[in-house]
Chain A
């Protein structure tokens, strides 16, 4: 009868979701060209911060697009820290900042993105001569003077006397670059070391890691009057790693051409080089931390590129976090509906457990439950007093609500005083909902007895905890964000749930005596 229609509509919804998802896969990924498909990587930068109870700040340069790489499907898990992105005009770097006014204990932040990488080779024009006055010879909008000047670790001025030994009287740019490159490859020995040497020290010791060698290359190039800069990134290969790589880029004939002395890539880069920053910087900087550990998890990208104009990825990153919370609500609703219709757990209100579990996610489970328990206990005591004083319902509810707010404030102060900074997040608790819980609990207690009231309270808590754990599954969050169309699937399941006429699991227990009775009658 009706069920057929319901199943048909559910099927339709699932098909609709499927169609939208595949349309997104087929027509999505505008920035990624399919001809390059093999080198798709999914890279997570995970930073584990150990705070020391002070203001803390972390900055990470984020990869950006260039002809060799396309970045898409970016995800930020900011661990409730303030997050923003700034563009740097001079270097063209894109920098993500995480800030926390008070960071205590351990915190993990994660930046995940997909990258399509390509190899590219460059042709160095042979007719170019070294300019007489390098600072005036290059277009100011393409070449910043910094790429020609001496700096702390790239002492091109100091190396000028040595340059003669390397390039002789050569004036042709392509030969100069070739000579510098060959000189370093021929004379400097690779040695992995802690902290890269500067250009001068590299030249003195003639042993260096990639950083030192790249600095020497840049310094010599700049000394010769060719704009040159350091480029940092990682060499992608599946697995976990925490090493970055550094190479150099010279501005020749209107474009920046890469040179990796250590791995011998001359005017070419293979497809597994991912550029993360430009300039002689470090990838990650931090202040106010006891310790910061970082590592990269590199894997092949399996999720197709989705950055068409209609995906959620185009939203500004700080809105994306909010969208993710929104997307959790239907998932939570499904869990609650399941617990209530299939299992038959009683809860206070339908949506209370969802809001509670969202709040618990912000605060952490133990602290959240402790706070919830104490708020409800104090509210219940207050409610008893108000009942004794015969206060009308609406003012009474408002008084309890005020008390809930006071409780939350007190707990924030207490928690902060004793060094539990997580407690500060309980300001996100749904206070109106908690007030209603107190009221319903009290009425239920008077009407149906303490046992029943506690049972319903327990039911609400259990459902909240279950929802909490399910919302914690990263896969669900990531995929819902990539394909919000999956919400139609949730709707379809909810429809089917809405026509579930079977027995609830709790009812089995409720009717068990009857079953026994029937068994005895046989």
Chain B
């Protein structure tokens, strides 16, 4: 092993990701399509790609009052349109008198909810602190297969799409520490996934390799993700709608609706390599070796490329 050891692993570092992949493959003008979740949803809806249903959006302060008027919704999720790293997401799972119950079990008053939305609107959670919109959408209930393995929250599946080809994937499992959220740096567990089959490898928790979920104590390895073929198919098809050469697609699997796209990411993180215990570079290079018109392949052909990727 070389002194640094990373060359052999083909690890993609932050600098190389930014300089060679994000800056090279993603046109700046296309960023708003993925940075603004409302825009993402709009495009997904137009292409009839499943995504959690949008109930309504709040774009200015006076609309915050609308929150008081919610009568028939029992559960919903409040999100900032331009939130980064899962910030500012509030999951409401029920009602107790006048208060709402959060996914964590705590109660939240209407005033607190309004304050949260006001914070979202003034850009507290947004990229770069600019003014933002909030929206309220369908609350996803996780597929039953995840019931044992995840600690509360909704596990999600991150697929890295390079030039339209699903390249690497991981399953992200919320933990007690991550408070129901599926972001790795907030303490969620990431489990690598064999991209061709949708079966999990070992996992990673806070940069530590693990094989057992720290809270549920269920083995993470060898878990079959349902609807895997659909997930790959949707991923491959989505490319034309957005045109970003290097992006992350986040899926959740609803117990009724099946795979839904939760959001897209123009600068997917690097922890997926830890979860998969593999560097991304060999796969990215293998795809680049296919020539300059990879993007023009049909989605079926692109999936073929995925199937032939060396694991």
Contacts and interface: CB of A to CB of B under 8 A. Distances in A.
B178 to A, nearest CB: 10
B8 A501 contact: no
Interface string B111-133: 11001001100111100000000
Contacts of A507: 6, 11, 13-14, 270
B122 A392 contact: yes
Interface stretch (A145-153, A179-187, A442-450): A442-450
B292 interface: no
A393 interface: yes
A513 B274 contact: yes
Nearest to B18: A501
A508 B6 contact: yes
B95 interface: no
Interface in B215-254: none
Nearest to B84: A447
A452 B207 CA distance: 14
B217 to A, nearest CB: 20
B285 interface: no
Given A344-B14, A498-B19, A513-B274, A518 B187 contact: no
A449 B65 CA distance: 31
B187 A449 contact: yes
B87 interface: yes
A449 B274 CA distance: 22
Interface in A336-353: 341, 344
B105 interface: no
A499 interface: yes
A499 B20 CA distance: 9
B97 interface: no
Nearest to B24: A2
A344 B15 CA distance: 9
B141 interface: no
The prevalent SS among residues of A at the interface is: helix
Interface string B183-198: 0011100000000000
B13 A502 contact: yes
Interface in B58-96: 85, 87
A498 B277 CA distance: 28
The winner among A502, A513, A514 for most chain B CB atoms within 10 A is A514
Contact of B5 (A2, A449, A515): A515
Contacts of A377: none
A316 interface: no
A499 B15 CA distance: 8
B205 to A, nearest CB: 10
A341 B124 contact: no
Contacts of A502: 13, 15-16
A519 interface: yes
A240 B118 CA distance: 67
Contact of A501 (B9, B13, B87, B122): B13
A142 interface: no
A302 interface: no
Nearest to A440: B129
B16 A501 contact: yes
Given A513-B209, A515-B1, A519-B1, A503 B112 contact: no
Contacts of B9: 511, 514-515, 518
Contacts of B85: 447-448
A510 interface: yes
Interface in B21-51: 24
A449 B177 CA distance: 9
B87 A447 contact: yes
B186 A503 contact: no
Contacts of B208: 513
A344 B14 CA distance: 9
B111 A511 contact: no
Interface in A281-335: none
Nearest to A506: B14
Interface in A469-521: 498-504, 507-508, 510-515, 517-519
Nearest to B19: A501
B197 to A, nearest CB: 21
A417 interface: no
A498 B19 CA distance: 8
Nearest to A389: B115
A391 to B, nearest CB: 9
A517 B13 contact: no
A514 B277 contact: yes
A46 to B, nearest CB: 45
Contact of A511 (B1, B6, B20, B125): B6
Contacts of A448: 85, 185-186
A390 interface: yes
Given A499-B19, A502-B15, A511 B274 contact: yes
B273 interface: yes
Contacts of B274: 510-511, 513-514
A501 B185 contact: no
Contacts of A499: 19
A394 interface: yes
Contact of A514 (B11, B14, B19, B125): B11
Nearest to A522: B1
Contacts of B20: 501
Contact of A393 (B4, B19, B122, B277): B122
B220 to A, nearest CB: 15
B115 A390 contact: yes
18 contacts: A390-B112, A393-B122, A394-B122, A452-B185, A499-B19, A500-B19, A501-B20, A503-B6, A503-B11, A503-B13, A503-B15, A503-B16, A504-B15, A507-B13, A508-B6, A510-B207, A513-B274, A515-B1
8 smallest CB-CB distances across A and B, nearest first, come from: A501-B16, A393-B122, A503-B13, A390-B115, A515-B5, A513-B209, A501-B19, A447-B87
Given A392-B119, A511-B9, 19 more contacts: A341-B15, A344-B14, A390-B111, A390-B115, A394-B122, A447-B125, A449-B187, A498-B19, A502-B13, A504-B14, A507-B11, A511-B11, A512-B207, A513-B204, A514-B9, A514-B277, A517-B209, A517-B277, A519-B1
Interface of A: 2, 341, 344, 390, 392-394, 443, 447-449, 452, 498-504, 507-508, 510-515, 517-519
